[in-house]
Amino acid sequence: QSSGVRQRSVKAELAVLFQEALHKAFPGLDVQAEVTQTNQPKFGDYQCNNAMGLFSKLKGKEGAPKNPRTVAEAIVANLPSSPAIAEKPSLAGPGFINVRLGLPWLSKRIVHMLQHGAGCWAPVTPYKRAVVDFSSPNVAKQMHVGHLRSTIIGYTIAATLEFCNIDVLRINHTGDWGTQFGMLIQHIAETREGGLGSDALDEDVVELEVLYKASKGHFDEDPEFKLRAQQAVKKLQGGDPEFLAAWERICAASRRAFDSVYERLGVKITERGESFYNPLLPGLVQEMVDLGIAEESDGAKVIWVEGIKAPFMIQKRDGGYGYDTTDLAAIRHRLQDERGDWLIYVVDSGQGQHFEQVFGAARKAGILPQDKKQGPRVEFVGFGLVMGEDGKRIKTRSGASVKLVELLDEARERCRVTIKERRGDDISEEELEASACAMGYGAVKYSDLKNHRTTNYRFSFDDMLDLRGNTAVYMLYAHARIASIIRKVGKDPASLFHTAELRLEHPAEVTLAMHIARFPEAVELVLDELAPNRLTEYVYDLAEKFSGFYTECKVAGSEYEDSRLLLCEATAVIMRQTFKLLGITPLDRL
Ligand code: ARG
């Protein structure tokens, strides 16, 4: 988007005006204008909250204002006139300044967005390139619901950053390296016909996981096997071609399973597993030793991070490298080679301490600046557990963890039944399949995203497929309804973007328009908190406000048909943009 087209958020526009007023009323004072949405629309749409803080700051000084209200009055008196503000702001409480937006100004913004697309409202950030680490399942194991959460949350964060014109590198940090693979390959070689040439290496992840568990049992029970497995690990790490080929086949088999999940969910991600960093590890450890930040502990090499009791182990006693070393190499690679200025790790909350250690060790090593406020933004984005309907950690009856693919299948099948019931023969098999996928997978994603990421949430098909609740299904119906209203008018809304006027008169029109214009503020919250539920809250309110508008205001055949058609279209555009960030495919008919 060229800068001439881009628009700041309403909040930011008002902040510019208040900043000017602050400078004029209190020259020489360095204060940032604080503008927020009001939660009491009775008094205003936005408010400026600076008066109280400024009053305390000036108290006791010469010529200090009498009370916060006099400060507020001085700010208002210096506020430049602008079409963004409808009337003289009012004061409330100790010194809140309430502002009402100018409706013609609001209407122009929305038409501008229609003309240029939702991208013109993308917040501007100081970041150029983000690296988002998400999904990251382990080879030879099934993806579990934790990986599903990471995939869904990571998808939305990456899409939101990309919407804000940040170049995003999505990294799948798969667990594809480690001593367990030596053990697994040795087990297959010894127990399967064909040895290292066995087809077992190409088994799907379900079978591989069984084999993996068996190999672990074998390892724990049979000391002779244990020795041979350790030999195998050495061979694999030493690059023995036969062992490497076997390992690659195992990775390829797991990749097929992961890719089929990504395809269903519409996820595109670069696989850069732990093995990628393997060649960098010996040099990195040596550097840490040379820098004097790695210490010997029980024969291992560790880095101590302030405030954390557990050691960060960069080299094990047997000389091997593990998860910690790899993550230290990875953070450096992402900063120095990839030139990321915003690193994000979407991993379950249980790994919070690990990442504190990674970041802490990187600071000690000078990979990150000592001062946390300087340099690249680096964040651990933790998330809670997924619980079953019974409120316990989600498990199948046999106690095994639930298969992700089965959850997706069931959601899709349930949606297929609902859609078929409504549409009967009036839908082709193709459209039915596409709609069932959009709705089913959308429902799984939405029900995950709508919870604050750090909460443990209960997984329930009935709740997530509820037609009337805060669900993707409800959202998709809301969108299809708008599309059908637009179809009923029978005009292409785009033909009105440059000719018709968007007139905001009815209170329900104003409420809806105001909410549409607040979309950028919802995106800003996601950038601040990396909390996708801000978007689901936003879009749910949007659907509710549209529904309020549609109950009160006739569209097709009304004397304001063109204007209202524009409002319908603006709602649909912003709704689709939000769906895009949430990974939900909109449908025009349901
Ligand atoms: N494979 C790990 C797991 O399943 C998650 C990896 C997360 N990313 C990272 N850079 N450590 O728990």
Q: How confident is the model at residue 400 (pLDDT cuts 50, 70, 90)?
A: low
Contact status, residue 85 vs residue 46, Cβ threshold 8 Å = no
64, 80, 101 - which closes a domain? 101
**Cα–Cα distances in angstroms (integers) from residue 478 to residues 123, 471, 484, 518, 539, in the given order:** 26, 11, 10, 19, 10
Tell whether ligand 1 has an atom less than 6 A from the beta carbon of residue 85.
Answer: no
In a domain, 520, yes or no: yes
Residue that finishes a domain, picked among 86, 101, 116: 101
Average the pLDDT over 213-223 and give the result: 94
Number of folded domains that form the chain: 3
Question: Ligand 1: which atom is nearest the Cα of residue 146?
Answer: 4
Note the pLDDT of residue 458: 87
> Which helix H or strand E contains 205, and what residues bound it?
helix 205-221
In a domain, 503, yes or no: yes
Q: Is residue 473 a part of any domain in this protein?
A: yes
Q: Does the C-beta of 138 come closer than 6 Å to ligand 1?
A: yes
3-state secondary structure of 401: strand
Name the residue with the closest Cα to ligand 1, atom 12.
Answer: 137
Q: Measured between alpha carbons, how far is 167 from 364 in angstroms, rounded to an integer? A: 28
What is the tens place of the pLDDT at every residue in 387-399?
887 777 776 555 4
Strand partners, 37: 46
CB 299 within 8 A of CB 313: no
Residue 482 has pLDDT above 90, yes or no: yes
Same domain, 89 and 188: no
pLDDT of residue 2: 59
First to last CA, the chain: 33
Which pLDDT does position 97 carry in this prediction? 97
Q: CB within 8 A of 261, min separation 6: which ones?
A: 143, 148, 151, 267, 404, 405, 408
Say if residue 97 is in the same domain as residue 183: no
Higher pLDDT, 384 or 1: 384
Sign of the CA dihedral with 329 first, then 335, 340, and 343 last: positive
The domain spanning residue 491 has which CATH number?
1.10.730.10
Cα separation of 517 and 113, whole Å?
9
Res 94: pLDDT: 92
Which residues, 6 or more positions from 480, have their beta carbon under 8 angstroms from its beta carbon? 587, 588, 589, 590
User: What is the pLDDT, as a whole number, of residue 352?
Assistant: 97
**Tens of pLDDT, residues 499-534:** 999 999 999 999 999 999 999 999 999 999 999 999
Q: What is the mean pLDDT of residues 331-341?
A: 98
Which band of pLDDT confidence, cut at 50, 70 and 90, is reported for residue 124?
Answer: very high
Does the CB atom of residue 448 touch ligand 1 within 6 A? Answer: no
DSSP secondary structure string, 28-63? T------EEE-S-TTT-SEEE-HHHHHHHHHTTSTT
Say which CATH number the domain at 40 has. Answer: 3.30.1360.70
168 part of a folded domain: no
478 with 577, same domain? Answer: yes
Residue 562 domain flag: yes
pLDDT at 402 over 70: no
Nearest one of 241, 320, 242, 248 to 278, comparing CA atoms: 320
* Other beta carbons within 10 Å of 400: 11
Q: Phi, psi (5° rounding) for residue 117? A: 90, 160
- pLDDT on residue 388: 82
CA of 158 to the centre of ligand 1 (A): 17
Question: Given pLDDT bands bounded at 50, 70 and 90, which one contains residue 368?
Answer: very high
Q: Is residue 272 part of a domain?
A: no
Report how far ligand 1's centroid is from the alpha carbon of 133 (Å): 8
pLDDT at 397: 53
CB 355 less than 6 A from any atom of ligand 1:
no
Give yes or no for residue 581 having a pLDDT over 70: yes
Atom 9, ligand 1: residue with shortest CA distance: 173
Lowest-confidence pick of 424-433, 460-469, 564-573: 460-469
Nearest to 208 by CA among 171, 183, 228: 183
Q: What is the span of the domain harbouring residue 45?
A: 10-101
For the CA of 174, the closest atom of ligand 1 is: 1
Residue 480, amino acid: A
Contact in structure between 87 and 45 (CB atoms under 8 Å): no
pLDDT digits (tens, 9 = 90+) for 535-561: 999 999 999 999 999 999 999 999 999
- With a 6 Å cutoff on the Cβ, whether 186 touches ligand 1 is no
Probe residue for ligand 1, chosen from 171, 173, 326, 338 as the CB with the greatest number of ligand atoms within 8 Å? 173
**Mean pLDDT of all residues in 465-485:** 94
CA dihedral 494, 499, 504, 508 (to 10 degrees): -30
Specify the pLDDT at position 130.
98
pLDDT at 313 over 80: yes
473 and 588 share one domain = yes
Pocket flag, ligand 1, residue 273 (CB < 6 Å): no
State the Cα–Cα distance between residues 298 and 296, nearest whole angstrom: 7
Domain boundary among 240, 267, 294: 267
Question: Is residue 24 exposed (0-12), middle (13-18) or buried (19+ Cβ within 10 Å)?
Answer: middle
Q: Give percent of the chain above pLDDT 70.
A: 98
Each residue of 250-263: pLDDT tens digit? 999 999 999 999 99
Per residue in 55-112, pLDDT tens?
A: 999 998 888 899 999 999 999 999 999 999 999 999 999 999 999 999 999 999 999 9
Whether 205 shows a pLDDT value over 90: the answer reads no
Q: Return the best residue to mutate from 134, 136, 254 for the ligand 1 pocket (most ligand atoms within 8 A of CB).
A: 136
- Residue closest via CA to ligand 1's atom 8 equals 173
**Confidence bin at 241 (pLDDT 50/70/90):** very high
Mean confidence (pLDDT) of the chain: 94
Residue 47 has pLDDT above 60, yes or no: yes
Q: In what order do the strands lie in the sheet with 35-37?
A: 35-37, 46-48, 96-99, 90-92
